[in-house]
Amino acid sequence: MREPGTVLLVGCGSQGRVVLDLFRQAGRFAEIGGFLDAYGDGARGPIGGVAVLGGLAFLDRARGEGFCAAIVPVGENSLRQGVTERVVASGLELESIVAPSATIGGGVVLGPGAMVSAGAIVVTGARVGRCAILNTGCTVDHDCELGDFIHVCPGAHLAGNVKVGDRTMIGIGASAIQGVRIGPDVTIGAGAAVVDDVPGGVTAAGVPARPIRGPS
C-alpha cells in the first residue's frame, strides 16, 4: 500500500479506466493522485473522479509534487514500453495492481507494474514480466514464463510451461498448449489455438494457429 495521493496512472484510455476500477475494487483508490495523458497534453476533464494533471512532461516534476510511483495502463505493448521508460527515467517506482477476484498461486512472480484483472488465474511457479497486462478471466498455468510488456487478453488460456516473449499479445479467447514457445513481438489472433512454437515478429491466427503475416 502507498500513501494517499502518491500514485500516478499514466494513460487515460479504456485501460486506464479499467485499472482505476481495479484500485477501487482493491480498496486502494485513495492512493491515486491523478492521471497523465500518455498521448497528449492532458487538457481534458477528470476520469472517474480523478483529475488529469497533464501529459508526459509532468513526469519531470512528479517527484517534486509528492508522487512516488506510477502504473502505465496503456494497452498497446510497444507504446506501454516507451511510456514506462519515461516513468522509470523520472525516478518513479513502478506500481502493480491485482484484482481481489484474481487468483495468484504460490511461488508466482509478478514483475513490477503488472496489471491483473478480475477473474484472472495465475498458477504456481509462473513468472510474469514487467508491466504485463493479464486481462479479465485469462489463465496462466503452472511454470509459464511471460516476458515484459505482454498482454494476455480476456478469456485467453495458456497451459503449463508456455513461454511468451516480450511485447507479445495473446488475443481474446486464444489458447496455447503445454510447453509451446511464442516469440517476442507476436500477435496471436482471437480464438487461435497455438499447438506449435511461433517465431518472433509474426501474426498467427486460426485453429491450429499459423503465421498469416511476417515480421514488419
Half-sphere exposure of residue 197: CA atoms within 13 angstroms, side-chain side: 9
Q: Residue 114 — very low, low, confident or very high, per pLDDT cuts 50/70/90?
A: very high
Given a cut of 90, whether residue 79 has pLDDT beyond it is yes
On whether the CB atoms of residues 55 and 36 are closer than 8 A, the answer is yes
Decide if 7-95 and 96-205 have a common fold.
no
Percentage of the chain exceeding pLDDT 90: 93
Given a cut of 80, whether residue 108 has pLDDT beyond it is yes
72-86 average pLDDT score: 97
Given a cut of 70, whether residue 216 has pLDDT beyond it is no
31-56 average pLDDT score: 91
202 Cβ contact partners less than 8 Å away, ≥ 6 residues apart: 183, 186, 187, 211, 212, 213, 214, 215
Average pLDDT, the chain: 96
Catalytic residue among 17, 28, 127, 142: 142
Q: Residue 158 — very low, low, confident or very high, per pLDDT cuts 50/70/90?
A: very high
Percentage of the chain exceeding pLDDT 70: 100
Tens-place pLDDT, residues 179-199: 999 999 999 999 999 999 999
User: What CATH number has the domain spanning 96-205?
Assistant: 2.160.10.10
Residue predicted with more confidence, 39 or 181: 181
Instruction: Enumerate the domain spans of the chain.
Output: 7-95, 96-205
Given a cut of 90, whether residue 213 has pLDDT beyond it is no
Given a cut of 90, whether residue 211 has pLDDT beyond it is yes
19 Cβ contact partners less than 8 Å away, ≥ 6 residues apart: 9, 11, 71, 73, 97, 115
Q: Residue 120 — very low, low, confident or very high, per pLDDT cuts 50/70/90?
A: very high
* Euclidean distance between the first and the last CA atom of the chain, given in angstroms as a whole number: 41
Q: How far apart are CA 7 and CA 97, in angstroms?
A: 11
Secondary structure class of 46 (helix, strand, coil): coil
Given a cut of 70, whether residue 201 has pLDDT beyond it is yes
Q: How far apart are CA 163 and CA 145, in angstroms?
A: 5
Q: Is residue 157 among the annotated active site residues?
A: no
User: What CATH number has the domain spanning 7-95?
Assistant: 3.40.50.20
pLDDT of residue 215: 75
Q: Residue 45 — very low, low, confident or very high, per pLDDT cuts 50/70/90?
A: confident
